[in-house]
Structure 1
Amino acid sequence: MSVTDEDTWCDTHIYASESGDTMLGGLWASEGMTNANLYSMLEIFCFFTDTFHLHDNRKQLVRRDEQQLQPGNYFCCSVSVTDEVPLICAISLPSGTRVASFRDAVLQRDRRCVITGRQAIFAHVGRWRGFEATHIFPLAYERQWNDCNYSHLITIPPTNESHGSINSVQNGIMLTWEMHQFFASYELSINPDDNYKIVCFAPDFTEYHIAGSHLDQTFTDNPLRPPDGLLRWHFRQAVLVNMRGAGEPTFEHDFPAGSDVMGEIMRGPKAGERMEFELFSRFNAMGITPVGG
């Protein structure tokens, strides 16, 4: 398992003043990332005392428009950074009675990866190899889901309401296993406030040609689809994780066969949070309430 720091591959940095002595954060200026997108993402993790403007290295005003964001340094004034802590995420495929109907409902609704458009060509015979039903709001954080009343966004409860509103089909999307890894680790997200644009926060997506594309309208028109509020939550987490400061560590999840998975996690960064995530994912899938949950 390896861990990388987003700042090692960021090609765009944002500073709090023209002196460049206080870095607010950075990102990878991926395809489809616009100047307007940068403004709106800054508003997620920064507080401004007044209307703010961005300037580039030449001290030229960067307009809030749909022009492609160019790599480089950007500067703004009268700003402070939020101390909001994002919920870390890691790959988990919980299996259990509480998630079985969730998985079936998501796969049957989408029948293709909503990010890449790749179809499950054998869906008619119940063969879903290579595809996974992915929670948007992770199952491991069901306590936070309940505490913050995210269930108010759900209009279609699971068939068995005892499985919890977090397992509604509306809290899931079907992805290929690769896209699941990227989505669950916040390396890509969907911005519902920009015509459901797919936003990539890492330079790993060139071969997929998805950065800056938009979700298919047949998906966005589906009354069973995720509500904007949940997609907005995930996008906010992705911005906090990837853009603020030097970014959060990015975890690799491809453990070779025979690996000491728990040992690898405990030797890595944020071991306690990751272990809690893994345990809560599995307990919640089986309907067991963890101590402190």
Structure 2
Amino acid sequence: MPPPNRSAGRNVHIYDANDPVTVLGGLLLTPGLSNANFYSMLEILIAPTDDIIQDEPYFFVRNESDTRIDRDANMLQPGKYFIVATGRFQVNNEPWLVRTISRATGTRAAAFTEAVRSRDRRCVISGAIVHTFDGVDFWDGFEAAHIFPLAYEGDWIGHNYGRWITIPAAKGGSINSVQNGLLLDSAIHQLFDAYYMSINPDDNYKVVVFRPNSRVVGGQNLDPAYFARPDAPAASLLRWHFRQAVLANMRGAGEPVLEHDFPPGSDIVGQIRLGPKPAARMEFELFGRLSAQMELLQAREHASSH
């Protein structure tokens, strides 16, 4: 059975007040989402097309009862919402990076994993602690996740995201810095990679969940002391991930949901080719599956030349 699309179950629907028929996007309400959170998401979802002074509020939201919704801590309610702007705007067409469940391998990923494990020693989201017995750490069920995916290192370099890194990686370039990582429960890692949950650093590191799941309730604020550490995950990278999550889940009908649980013997390549965004996904999958082998070959070539 194919996975559900991201618009399944939506109970918040977004419109332009000047076009109250065309749906711009929407949201499935999960715990902890306030009116203020909704405004911050809309600031990502829409982009003004006129010479609007963006340093000042250029829109507000009203509900279907024509009541203005304030940007406050009250919980967002299900229903239709209409954006009233001081000028024209459009749905943000910023590119969304296709991402599937990723478990990078190879020596540079191993160095990244060790750095993230050493710093966190628990799932950053759930708080589940890594157990130690007789000096042995049991890492079963925990995974080091890249906030910005390793498969898009070209984008990382092209946009100079390395400027957000202050602690160099032991190996593998700035994208493998501990500041681009989180230790997560393996199931939460899947949600994070699929953009079904994210962390908003501009709301006291609130966990925002975009669909119901069995691991993360959402709405809780993470420990500020953790993010105050000099080696903490970079706020700019968490902000990038949150932005991608909003666009993936709220824009239009939402970005495609990609299958990752292929049974043994499946024609994985064939299913990817027949599914959504096949070219981008094939590139991502090939990187994940071949990067370790490529790294090993390069190491052998380097050794033979010396």
TM-score where L is the length of structure 2: 0.88
User: Aligned ranges for residues 43-62 of structure 1 at < 5 Å?
Assistant: 43-48=43-48, 49=50, 51-62=58-69
3-state SS of 2:64 partner: coil
Rounded Cα–Cα distance in structure 2 between residues aligned with 1:244 and 1:258: 35
Larger-gyration structure (1/2): 2
Rounded Cα–Cα distance in structure 1 between residues aligned with 2:194 and 2:188: 10
**Deviation readout 1:3-43 (Å, 9 max, x if unpaired):** 32222211101001265212111011111111111111111
2:304 corresponds to: none
The reply to whether residue 242 of structure 1 matches residue 249 of structure 2 is yes
Shift of 1:284: 4.4
Rounded Cα–Cα distance in structure 1 between residues aligned with 2:102 and 2:265: 18
Unaligned ranges ≥5, structure 2: 53-57, 299-306
Higher relative contact order (CA 8 A, sep 6+): 1
- Given residue 195 of structure 2, which amino acid in structure 1 is its aligned partner? Y
- Conserved 8 A contact 2:131-2:137: no
TM-score where L is the length of structure 1: 0.91
2:303 corresponds to: none
Shift of 1:200: 0.4
Rounded Cα–Cα distance in structure 1 between residues aligned with 2:116 and 2:34: 31
Shift of 1:185: 0.5
The reply to whether residue 202 of structure 1 matches residue 218 of structure 2 is no
- Conserved 8 A contact 1:115-1:210: no
**Deviation readout 1:212-233 (Å, 9 max, x if unpaired):** 0011234223221111100000
Rounded Cα–Cα distance in structure 1 between residues aligned with 2:261 and 2:174: 30
User: Aligned ranges for residues 158-197 of structure 1 at < 5 Å?
Assistant: 158-160=169-171, 163-197=172-206
3-state SS of 1:251 partner: coil
3-state SS of 1:134 partner: strand
3-state SS of 2:59 partner: coil
Shift of 1:107: 1.2
User: Aligned ranges for residues 1-293 of structure 1 at < 5 Å?
Assistant: 2-17=2-17, 20-48=20-48, 49=50, 51-77=58-84, 78-122=88-132, 124-160=135-171, 163-204=172-213, 207-208=214-215, 210-285=217-292, 286-287=294-295
Shift of 1:281: 3.0
- Conserved 8 A contact 2:187-2:215: no
Shift of 1:88: 1.3
- Given residue 42 of structure 1, which amino acid in structure 2 is its aligned partner? L
Rounded Cα–Cα distance in structure 1 between residues aligned with 2:236 and 2:192: 17
Rounded Cα–Cα distance in structure 2 between residues aligned with 1:141 and 1:281: 11
With 118-127 and 81-90 compared, the bigger mean Cα shift is at 118-127
- Conserved 8 A contact 2:45-2:247: yes
3-state SS of 2:20 partner: coil
- Conserved 8 A contact 1:57-1:73: yes
Shift of 1:55: 0.6
With 14-23 and 181-190 compared, the bigger mean Cα shift is at 14-23
- Conserved 8 A contact 1:156-1:224: yes
- Given residue 251 of structure 1, which amino acid in structure 2 is its aligned partner? L
